[in-house]
Amino acid sequence: MDLLPTPEQVEIIDSSATFLADQISIARTRELFESGELPAVGAAAWSAAAELGWFALGLPEDRNGIGCGLADEVLLFREIGRRLAPGPFLSTVLAARVASFGGHQGLSDEIAGGRRVGLVIPGSLDAIGPDGSIVGEVQLVDADPDGLVLTVTPTIAALVAVSSLSDVTEVPCVDPTTRLHRAVGTGVGPVSSVASEVDPVELRGHVLAAALLTGIVEWSRDTGSEHAINRVQFDKPIGVNQAIKHPCADMAVQAQLAYSQSLFGALSVDEGRADAEFQALTAHATAAAAAEFATGATLQIMGGMGFTHEHDVHLYVKRMELLSHTFGMPGLWLDRLLELPEPV
């Protein structure tokens, strides 16, 4: 048992942080979405991420991937979350798996090479059919109208052509860095699909969403604490006050819990533990609750600045909402957590 990153894993963390700071900075993201380009990530940066192997990191080598584990992907996604990098990173990484395990290796290679795949967020659970097709009202996150979107349920994951849907209408998303469509499914069969017994795509999705949320919690902790140290009122840094210091400490605890449980969830999936579903759902639920608390706490510590468009904290609040409503929502995960057997 060891939860410390290896030197190779530290290298993943460092190189991804450097790349994100350089290519997908928040300043650049702001420029893009304020000029109306959604999702707010440039084509060049996206291709560069593909070239780094980000979309094939966790794919086995015999499926043209890099062969790393889900825990390695957690370390990458935590950095993506921390830097608020937009774009369908989550669904594209999962889609490359669905295509490969679904028997469409050529499509998988294309996705791993940088073809974006959006994510379907169903309006109700029965909007996704048992074969992964879309049969009801859905929202599409970062979908290309000519491209594919990913549907995920506890039993199946599938790729569906956006062109097969009806009433596809672009609507503003609460997260301004994200492109959102509404659409209605027509029941057209998926392009490719994989059952969860073959590859637990849903569990991987929960863990990676947890990793993104962990990055948000850590950003909030660091941003709130830095302000508490530097902001002076009544001739003292505001951080001397326990009313400021203690939520900072709580953020530190929440960040560590979100991180450790994301790793625990990832390794449970990697190692095929009997309680992998429990641990992965717990990771998402833990990180979502932590991020809700931490973004709110930091917004409060920032005072009036936290309420402005100019400060970045509102972007983190909104991203947190998006990720907390991905692959279901907290109440749904809790219902499942209660029904699952006791963790091992």
Q: Point out which residues bind other proteins (CB under 8 A).
A: 1-6, 9, 69, 71, 221, 225, 228-229, 236-237, 239-240, 242, 244-246, 248-250, 252-253, 256-261, 263-264, 267-268, 271, 273, 278-279, 281-282, 285-286, 289, 331, 334-335, 337-338, 342-343
Nearer to other proteins, 21 or 334 (CB): 334
Q: How far is the C-alpha of 104 from the C-alpha of 311, rounded, in Å?
A: 44
Q: How many CB atoms lie within 10 A of CB 311?
A: 18
Taking CA atoms, 143 is separated from 103, 116, 160, 321, in Å, by 23, 8, 11, 18
The runs of H, that is alpha helices, within 24-104 are 26-34, 43-51, 70-82, 89-101
HSE at residue 109, side-chain half, CA atoms within 13 A, is: 7
Least distance in angstroms from the C-beta of 240 to other proteins: 5
Name which of 16, 11, 110, 103 is nearest 56 in CA terms: 110
Nearer to other proteins, 167 or 271 (CB): 271
Least distance in angstroms from the C-beta of 127 to other proteins: 23
In what helix (H) or strand (E) does residue 276 lie, and over which residues does it extend? helix 276-302
Nearer to other proteins, 176 or 265 (CB): 265
Nearer to other proteins, 28 or 273 (CB): 273
Nearer to other proteins, 75 or 157 (CB): 75
Nearer to other proteins, 5 or 67 (CB): 5
Least distance in angstroms from the C-beta of 14 to other proteins: 17
- Residue whose pair of structure tokens reads 């641990």 in the numeric block: 279
DSSP classification of residue 343:
P
Least distance in angstroms from the C-beta of 342 to other proteins: 5
Q: How far is the C-alpha of 253 from the C-alpha of 317, rounded, in Å?
A: 19
The runs of H, that is alpha helices, within 83-189 are 89-101, 105-112
Nearer to other proteins, 173 or 244 (CB): 244
Least distance in angstroms from the C-beta of 227 to other proteins: 11
On whether the CB atoms of residues 157 and 196 are closer than 8 A, the answer is yes
Nearer to other proteins, 164 or 286 (CB): 286
HSE at residue 108, side-chain half, CA atoms within 13 A, is: 25
Name which of 178, 86, 96 is nearest 139 in CA terms: 178
- Residue length, the chain? 344
CA angle (229 as vertex; 224, 234 as ends), nearest 5: 110
Pairing status of strand 148-152 against strand 117-122: parallel
Burial classification of residue 16, based on how many CB atoms lie within 10 Å of its CB (0-12 exposed, 13-18 middle, 19 or more buried): buried
* Axis-axis angle for helices 89-101, 201-230 (nearest 10): 160
Least distance in angstroms from the C-beta of 89 to other proteins: 21
Least distance in angstroms from the C-beta of 302 to other proteins: 15
Nearer to other proteins, 53 or 237 (CB): 237
Least distance in angstroms from the C-beta of 31 to other proteins: 32
Least distance in angstroms from the C-beta of 98 to other proteins: 25
